[in-house]
Structure formats: structure tokens, C-alpha cells
Structure 1
Amino acid sequence: MDLLLLEKALISLFFTVILAILISKLRSKRFKLPPGPIPVPVFGNWLQVGDDLNHRNLSDLAKKFGDIFMLRMGQRNLVVVSSPELAKEVLHTQGVEFGSRTRNVVFDIFTGKGQDMVFTVYGEHWRKMRRIMTVPFFTNKVVQQYRHGWEDEVARVVEDVRKIPEAATNGIVLRRRLQLMMYNNMYRIMFDRRFESEDDPLFVKLKALNGERSRLAQSFEYNYGDFIPILRPFLRGYLKLCKEVKEMRLQLFKDYFLEERKNLASTTRSDNNALKCAIDHILDAQQKGEINEDNVLYIVENINVAAIETTLWSIEWGIAELVNHPEIQQKLRNEIDSVLGRGVPVTEPDTHKLPYLQAVIKETLRLRMAIPLLVPHMNLHDAKLGGYDIPAESKILVNAWWLANNPAQWKNPEEFRPERFFEEEAKVEANGNDFRYLPFGVGRRSCPGIILALPILGITLGRLVQNFELLPPPGQAKLDTSEKGGQFSLHILKHSTIVAKPRVF
């Protein structure tokens, strides 16, 4: 059976090579394509650049080929943009032309081929999903409604860490407790639910499935089958696992959360004024026929991945940088003490009175951007960009990390220096007012979660620094901040052990 499969693959490969050569010659006569390494038939540039298309490797290629370059990855065109001017073209000026999303074989499984909001193509479905999600999730009203819950969750973190003697001596992996906090922050908004402890069986199951989903989706291991369709049969086992994880997650969302809200609504709610949480709004849209049950499930899927994990990564990076820069940590602590008073808990309104805290957050998002390549864009039709022709359905990556870490654009970008946002970069904000700094993107397909992420980051980092002296474990001068990148993610390679010495007020 394997020999038959190999024979068919080789025959297909032969004809694909011939076809690719013909198409390449015809295309070169029609298009003025961006520069890049010379592709070979079938494989394109895959054999030259490999699977690991992370932000640093793409930055190195930009130094060689320029602010816009193209890679031919098997049958896919990958266009990488590395300048503020071209980023503005993709995200703003030509936001409609480049407003769609490209997916891959794995994301097609996890999003039901774009039945969600994040990965759907630009058009009526996206507009409808964005509108339905905005009111219950992404408004200032939501922040004010739920910020007391966020403050409560981080207060519980502080209380729990204070109760662990080892935290003040050998240290603990603080991320584990912060992960529970982030799930509770978002599940309060979504379902009016929280998990009591890290040992809650439902939380353990949910965390494991979400973790496996992230691992499978973010891995570079499946690129060969995505880039070169004739190799896709060798991905059968991988894609089968993806489908199993997807089905288990969606069933869990449905059985333990959606059905409970439906039952509660049918017995206790008589009018829209009684709506308690985000999913009630989403289910109302389903009842009105605006979306179907699959769309509801994929909204929950998006929030589980996009809102929880990315914010957690940023919190973890922020803590690591504060541990490794004790003088910055002390400066932040002094600001909190002087503005609020020693021992007065940081609240969401307080974060706006703490400019150094805001600068620490902005610097964390600059140096350690959670989504360094943003979510990929795609042009449905042939387009122009930077004087070049971009063939239809090209994958467009904006290297937002390089925009914010290019020494030609930033002073000593490799340094963690919050002071830059008081000095030479005083006017730069995280909302995309400067195309050199786009941690949440900008334009139509920007991340709406900015309105939740920034206050949660402020409350969490503020309370931790206020209540603890955060240190590396005994025997270590600094924490290991080696990076682990995925298809678009950037998180810390090793979850750090942190010593948290309680302050006495």
C-alpha cells in the first residue's frame, strides 16, 4: 500500500514539476513580482528557507531582500512586509484589498473553514460576526462591568501566593496560577462562570484540550503538507488528531457551557435587560437567525485561544522582564506607592494614573510581541503593493515585531527600556497610531481584544509588583527569556520559576 502511494506521489510530482515550470514562465511575463530567493519547481523556496518562518528569520530575509519580498512555499505565495509605509498600505490604505484571511489545512479544521471571526474572509460574514462579538466583549462598557471581577481574580492570586511558603524562598511557577486567573477573567465575561482551583476537573480538561489545540495549530511540523498538496497524504495522522481535538473541544464547550446558558435562559430570563454574560447576547443572535450554532461554537473557540493565551503570554513576558530588570521593577513599585499609597490595591481606573506602568506594558508589547507577524492577511484578487504585483490569494505577513525592533527605526531596540515612551517615543501608543508599533494590528482586521488586554495587563502587573518583590530563583542571576515562536505566536520557551517575597504594609 505504501509503495502504491509512493508511486502515485512520484508520478504526481513529475507532472507537477512540468506544470510549475510552465506556469512560472507565463507568470514571470505577466507579473512584476517582489524580490526574493529564486524558487525551484514544486518546492519553491521551501528547501532554502525551511519550515520555521518565525519573525526573526523573516527579519533576516528582509535585511537581504528589502522591505517587501516574496517566498514561494510550494504552491503558496508568501509576501512579507517589513516597513511602516508598506504596513500602512496593507492594514489601512488598502485594508479592503488585503482584508481577507488565508488559512491552512490545520486552521481550516479548527475554524470550520472560516466559520469564526478571526480567520474568515473579508465580507458580509466577517462584518456580521464582528458586530455580534463587539457589544458583549469589546467595549468600554464591558471593561467597566467586569473590571471588578478582574481585580478580584488578581487579589486571589496575591492571596494564594502569600499562602505558599516556598514562593518566598525557592520560588514557584507563577504562570500556572496566572493561567487560572486568565481563564476566570474570560469565563466570567463569556459564561458568568469561574473555576475554583487549578485542580478543578473541568478546568484541567479544558486547559489540556486548549493546550493541545495550540500545539497542533502553532507547530511548523505540518507545513510541508500544507505547502505541497501532493504530500498531504502523509499528514493523515496529524490531521486526524486535529479533528479529534477539535470535536472534543467543541463538544465540551457545548455540553458544559452553552447548554447550561440555554437552560438558564429558558427558565429565568424574560427580557433582554436580564442578560448576564456575553454568550447570552451570542445565543440571542442565533435565535434571531443571524448566525448558526457552529458560528456560536467557533466564537467560543476564538475567545479561548485569542483572548486567554495571548494575554497570558504578555503577562508572563512582563514579569520576566521586571525580574531581570530590578531597577525598573523598583521604579514601578515606587510610582504605585507614591501615587496610590502603600498597600492601596491597584484598580483599573488607577492604571491610567500610573504612566510608568503604562510604559512598562508598552515596552513589553514592543520587545515581546505576542503575535509578532499579526494574523496573516490575504488579497482575494490580484493587487499592487510597493510597486509590485501581488497575485491573488497570496499570504501577506506584516512583520510587526521587526517594525518595532528595527534599529533603523528605534533607539537601541534590543534593550528593555520603558523610558523610551517618555522620551523619544512619547507619542507612540499601542492602538496603532504609529505604524512602527502595531502589537494589536490596526484597521479593519485589528485585534479588538486590545480593550480587554491592556487593563488586565495593568491590573495584574501592578498588583504583583505592589505586593511582592519578584526575583529569580536561588542560584540564578536572571530568568531565561529564550523565545519559542509558532506559526504566529511568541511566548517564553521555559515557564519561569519566580521568587515572590511578600511586602509588609
Structure 2
Amino acid sequence: MDLLLVEKVLLSLFLAVVAAIAISKLRGKRFKLPPGPIPVPVFGNWLQVGDDLNHRNLTDLAKKFGDIFLLRMGQRNLVVVSSPELAKEVLQTQGVEFGSRTRNVVFDIFTGQGQDMVFTLYGEHWRKMRRIMTVPFFTNKVVQQQRAAWEEEVSLVVEEVKNTPEASTTGIVLRKRLELMMYNNMYRIMFNRRFESLDDPLFVKLRALNGERSRLAQSFEYNYGDFIPILRPFLRGYLKICEDVKNRRLQLFKDYFIDERVKKLGSTKAEGFKCAMDHILEAEKKGEISENNVLYIVENINVAAIGTTLWSTEWGLAELVNHPRVQKKLQHELDTVLGPGVQVTEPDLQKLPYLQAVVKEVLRLRMAIPLLVPHMNLNHAKLGGYDIPAESKVLVNAWWCANNPAHWKNPEEFRPERFLEEESKVEANGNDFRYLPFGVGRRSCPGIILALPVLAITLGRLAQNFELCPPPGQSKIDTTEKGGQFSLFILNHSTVVLKPRSF
């Protein structure tokens, strides 16, 4: 460690002690901060609560400190809210005050310091990016234009499974094929392109880079350096890997997808159909966004639109396998309403209430983003009667709002009927603050309009065409959770037996 680095470490240590003292003073008479464990200098509460700030660990802390509490993670303030009332305050009532996003040392790399839409600060840049992305991606018109493509993609999955002998005997890891389907769904919208198979070299490369990006960004491993700047030199190797993955991903997006689309737009034989990228490139041509913004839009879609829907589909498949009663009831509805063997399509979804209830229950019990995407107040704010220091990271524990026995009947039970009975008026769009799988308000996930029909069609087609069973010798498949900075997915990809149904 050279002399300059030692000086920086000592300076950072001094500033951390000063900050810890300041926080201690804030807890006094002048400011009323939310309750929480007493922080220690430099480390705050990090040594007490650790790196793994997943939804279950934060729920345990909420049971101890209340529906709003404050953690001092090194030099960062982390405020966690765990009630529907406080969630409404953060997401809607004070949506402007808490409308910005915190990032961290890794997300700063992957988003180009907030040149994207998802992780940028609340302001003019976010409004511009949201407007430019909404028309080509997140409207009912897009759903109607793309539904035939989604239905074709899931039909191909069904046919491949039927033609795979081991699928009906020892079982297969269907998740791999569903991942290809999800990529094709979004790349058809984005670039009017699809990948032919899991062995497609470009798909293999893209999937590997996206997977590495997800692993690096979702890991809790780098929190120590993000929370405590004096430890940041130890992250140099990690951050260098992140920078390399980012550069290779953006170059792949540019070389193989964006530049190809630019060539087609410039061709005299350009196709009549306009994909999402065409609209985005027009915005760039008009000077509304930069070339980098275009790249980071593609980055956001690869992460937010593909991964989350895939996780939810895998959870839904696992729950149908592990709950044969629910599976049979769903099959009965599909056979009765549509007719045996008549494949479900997007327009059918409104007349299939039990299928919709299954989707809602998957999103409640197995919320893909259980803490939503973090919020931040740029200025000092008030919340729940407490003072919230400027630039605090604010997490909404949406999973606990949807799984708290004080608000839900037997929440640990996978029971879709709840959405047809006592919770029949609750929707996934945030009309009830106990249930916020996509958030609500200004920074809610616009992808809800795509995710819900894709998830329903996929689970519906699989249940229609197959008896979904655990592998031989197992009564259930493993649903052990794996959480990340924001995510919740299955730790071990499920081997599922899919026996074709006869009609």
C-alpha cells in the first residue's frame, strides 16, 4: 500500500468518524430519525446486520424495530419501510420527494453513471427516457402487435418438449428453453429478430454476458466497499471485471443488433414493420437522446424485461408442480372455457379468472423484485413522522407487505383462490398497497403490460399440454430461494417431468 493510498485511507477514516458522530447527533433532539440499531463509528450497523440485506432479513429487523427503521451501512443511510401505508407515502403521496434512484459502485459502471432509465435520478433525463421507451415497448398496441409472436414462441417450446423423450420420463430443466423463449419475445419487440436455438453462437455469447452482468450486480460481495469508502481499494479487481463485462456487452449490442438495425433503416428495401429500436433510433437522430442512451436502453431491457419474467415463470412452474390441486383446477378451467386442446391466446385471458389468480399468487408469494428498485430522496424529507436525511436509500419491502399475516390470510400458503375470494378486488397494478409486485407511481415498472400476458400465456400453455410432475423419486421440487441486491429466484433450476395430456 503506497503512501498516497495510506493518506486516503486515513482521511476517509476521519470523515467516517465525523459522519458517525453527526448521525449520532441527528438521533438527538434536533432531528427525529427512524429507530434502528445503534451504529458504531466507520462501520455503522454493517457488522451487526451484514451484507445480505434480503427481504427476509429486513423483515426480521422490521419485526424488531417497526414498519420504518434506519440502518447506517458504513457511510450510507438505509431506510426500510414495511407497511402498505408507508409504501404509499414513498411511492405515491411523496413520489416526487422519493422519486430518485440510488446506485452503487457496480451499478454506476453498468448504467454509465445513470445514462439509462431505470437507475437514473428523477428529473428531466428520466422523463425523456421514460417517454421515448413507452411508445415502442409499453403500450396495449405493442401487446396486440406482438401477442402472435409470443404465442408462436411458447408453441415452439411445447412442441420441442413433446419431441424430447426424457421430458415425460426422467424430466428436463425446462428453464433453459424458457430462457430462449423470453429472449426471443423481447428481441422480436426490440429488433424484430430471434434466435433459432440454444446453440445459436450469438445467443450463447449474449446469454453468458448478461448472466455475468447479473451475477456481478446482484451479488452482496461488493457491499463492504460500497458502504465503507476506506475499503474500496480492495474492490479494484471486482470493479475492473465489471468494467470489462460492461464494455463487452455494450459492444455486442452495438455490433450485432443496433448497427444492423441502422443498416436496415437506411436500406431502400427496409421492411414496413417498425420495431422498438426504430423508434429509439429516430429519437437519437432528432437529438433527443445520445448514442450511449440507446445502448443503455438495450441494457435495461436485457436486465429488467427478460430476467424478471423468466424468474416468475420458473417460480410459477415450480408452484404448479408442487400443488397438483391447483394444477388440476387450472387445467379444468382451460378445458372447460376454451375446449380440450384449444390453446390459450392473449384475448382469452380475461375469461380465465383462475389462470389470472394463479399469476397473481405467483407474483405475491414469489415476488421477483421483493424490495422493488431502491428509491432516494435528494433533499431532507419527512416520512412516518421521522426525519429522513437527504440522499438516503429507501427500500420498500413489498414482499413483506404481501406476505404479512396481519394483512393476508395464511400468506405462506400458495392459494390462488384468495384472489377470487377475500382479495378479489386486488390487482397487480398497485391498486392495493399491500400488493405491489411492479411497484406503483412514477417509478413503477412499465413492463407490467408485457409481463402479465407473457406469464399467463406461458403457464397456461404448459398446464394445458402437460401434466407437470416432480422427477421420479421426489414428491416435490426444491424451491429454495436465492436473493440478490434486488432479485428473488430459485436457487437450483428445477428438473420437471412433463407428460403430454391426451384430449
1:184 maps to 184
Which consecutive unaligned segments of at least 5 residues does structure 2 have? none
Cα deviations across residues 323-345 of structure 1 (Å, max 9, x unaligned)? 00001000000100000000111
Q: Name the amino acid aligned to 1:373.
A: L
Corresponding position: 1:104 with 2:104: yes
2:49 maps to 49
CA distance in 2, matches of 1:50, 1:232: 17
Question: TM-score w.r.t. structure 2 length?
Answer: 0.98
1:62-461 correspondence runs (5 A):
62-268=62-268, 274-461=272-459
Cα deviations across residues 117-153 of structure 1 (Å, max 9, x unaligned)? 0000000000000000000000000000000000000
1:491 maps to 489
2:18 maps to 19
CA distance in 2, matches of 1:22, 1:152: 61
CA distance in 1, matches of 2:399, 2:269: 46
CA distance in 2, matches of 1:264, 1:408: 56
TM-superposed CA distance for 1:423, in Å, is 1.1
CA distance in 2, matches of 1:17, 1:291: 38
TM-superposed CA distance for 1:274, in Å, is 3.8
Tell me if the contact between 1:275 and 1:281 (Cα under 8 Å) persists in the aligned partners: no
CA distance in 1, matches of 2:200, 2:12: 51
TM-superposed CA distance for 1:415, in Å, is 0.2
TM-superposed CA distance for 1:26, in Å, is 4.0
2:460 maps to 462
TM-superposed CA distance for 1:31, in Å, is 1.6
Q: Name the amino acid aligned to 2:223.
A: N
CA distance in 1, matches of 2:358, 2:439: 19
CA distance in 2, matches of 1:211, 1:249: 11
Q: Name the amino acid aligned to 1:286.
A: E
TM-superposed CA distance for 1:25, in Å, is 4.4
Cα deviations across residues 444-502 of structure 1 (Å, max 9, x unaligned)? 00000000000001110000000000000001100100000000100000000000001
Tell me if the contact between 1:269 and 1:275 (Cα under 8 Å) persists in the aligned partners: no
Which consecutive unaligned segments of at least 5 residues does structure 1 have? none
Cα deviations across residues 420-450 of structure 1 (Å, max 9, x unaligned)? 0111111100000000000000000000000
Tell me if the contact between 2:213 and 2:245 (Cα under 8 Å) persists in the aligned partners: yes
CA distance in 1, matches of 2:215, 2:305: 16
Q: CA RMSD in A?
A: 1.4
Tell me if the contact between 1:70 and 1:79 (Cα under 8 Å) persists in the aligned partners: yes
Question: TM-score w.r.t. structure 1 length?
Answer: 0.97
CA distance in 2, matches of 1:312, 1:25: 44
Paired residues, what number?
502
Tell me if the contact between 2:77 and 2:392 (Cα under 8 Å) persists in the aligned partners: yes
1:502 maps to 500
TM-superposed CA distance for 1:19, in Å, is 1.8
Closer, same or farther in 2 for the Cα pair 1:3/1:115, shift >3 Å? Answer: closer
Tell me if the contact between 2:13 and 2:230 (Cα under 8 Å) persists in the aligned partners: no
CA distance in 2, matches of 1:289, 1:139: 24
Closer, same or farther in 2 for the Cα pair 1:147/1:23, shift >3 Å? Answer: same
Question: Secondary structure of the equivalent of 1:405?
Answer: coil
Cα deviations across residues 13-63 of structure 1 (Å, max 9, x unaligned)? 652354234423443343210000000011000000000000000000000
TM-superposed CA distance for 1:3, in Å, is 7.0
Question: Secondary structure of the equivalent of 1:473?
Answer: coil
Tell me if the contact between 2:9 and 2:230 (Cα under 8 Å) persists in the aligned partners: no
Tell me if the contact between 1:359 and 1:419 (Cα under 8 Å) persists in the aligned partners: yes
Q: Name the amino acid aligned to 1:24.
A: I
1:471 maps to 469
More displaced 10-residue stretch of structure 1: 193-202 or 2-11: 2-11
Tell me if the contact between 2:12 and 2:229 (Cα under 8 Å) persists in the aligned partners: no
CA distance in 2, matches of 1:343, 1:236: 56
CA distance in 1, matches of 2:370, 2:16: 34
TM-superposed CA distance for 1:372, in Å, is 0.1
CA distance in 1, matches of 2:168, 2:115: 47
TM-superposed CA distance for 1:6, in Å, is 7.7
Question: Secondary structure of the equivalent of 2:77?
Answer: strand
Cα deviations across residues 208-258 of structure 1 (Å, max 9, x unaligned)? 000000000000000000001111110000000000000000000000000
CA distance in 1, matches of 2:303, 2:155: 24
1:32 maps to 32
Question: Secondary structure of the equivalent of 1:333?
Answer: helix
Tell me if the contact between 1:483 and 1:491 (Cα under 8 Å) persists in the aligned partners: yes
Tell me if the contact between 2:82 and 2:400 (Cα under 8 Å) persists in the aligned partners: yes
Q: Name the amino acid aligned to 1:460.
A: T
TM-superposed CA distance for 1:8, in Å, is 4.2
CA distance in 2, matches of 1:10, 1:248: 32
CA distance in 1, matches of 2:325, 2:415: 11
Q: Name the amino acid aligned to 1:142.
A: V
CA distance in 1, matches of 2:13, 2:184: 54
Q: Name the amino acid aligned to 2:415.
A: R
Question: Secondary structure of the equivalent of 2:476?
Answer: coil
CA distance in 2, matches of 1:181, 1:208: 16
Tell me if the contact between 1:9 and 1:231 (Cα under 8 Å) persists in the aligned partners: no
TM-superposed CA distance for 1:11, in Å, is 2.8
TM-superposed CA distance for 1:352, in Å, is 1.4
Closer, same or farther in 2 for the Cα pair 1:6/1:48, shift >3 Å? Answer: farther
TM-superposed CA distance for 1:12, in Å, is 3.5
Q: Name the amino acid aligned to 1:16.
A: L
Closer, same or farther in 2 for the Cα pair 1:380/1:358, shift >3 Å? Answer: same
Instruction: Spell out structure 1 runs of 4+ moving beyond 4 A.
Output: 3-10
CA distance in 2, matches of 1:220, 1:189: 33
Closer, same or farther in 2 for the Cα pair 1:97/1:502, shift >3 Å? Answer: same
